[in-house]
Amino acid sequence: MKTGFIILNIAFGAIFGLVGFLLTLFYSDPSQSFSMVIFLFYLGLFLALAGFLTLVGFLWRSRRQKNPNQQYILKISFRQGSMLSLLLVSVLVLQSLKIFYWWTALIIFLMIVLIEIYFSKKAD
């Protein structure tokens, strides 16, 4: 597939995630809602963050390199954007469940760093 088509789909996914996140934010009460509404809230937040961070990472890497391999840059940006979004959303979930401590965030962060190191070494 063409890179432009993939980027356009990521942008639309991020917009739909943002719309879903905002709809659940403004039209639901977290204290009186079901667990499905809370799940959709975090899912919309994850999709919006992952899409936005992927696009920002792709644009930043594309501008820094003179002859970029667009597919490779998009793959790296998507992986890192998704993992950073997973980190942020998991920290928010832990905070909402009142089981967030600095060492739990550190463990999640170290797991994501190790996954990134594994995929970076595998790609080389």
**3-class DSSP string for 22-75:** HHHHHHCCCCCCCHHHHHHHHHHHHHHHHHHHHHHHHHHHHHHCCCCCHHHHHH
Domains in the chain: how many in total?
1
pLDDT of residue 115: 95
- pLDDT mean values, one per 10 residues, the chain (124 residues): 92 97 90 87 97 96 88 94 97 93 94 94 78
Q: Rounded to whole angstroms, what are the CA distances from 74 to 2, 33, 42, 68?
A: 11, 37, 24, 10
pLDDT of residue 91: 96
The whole domain housing 54 covers 3-123
CA distance 45 to 50: 8
Residue 82 half-sphere exposure toward CB, CA atoms < 13 A: 10
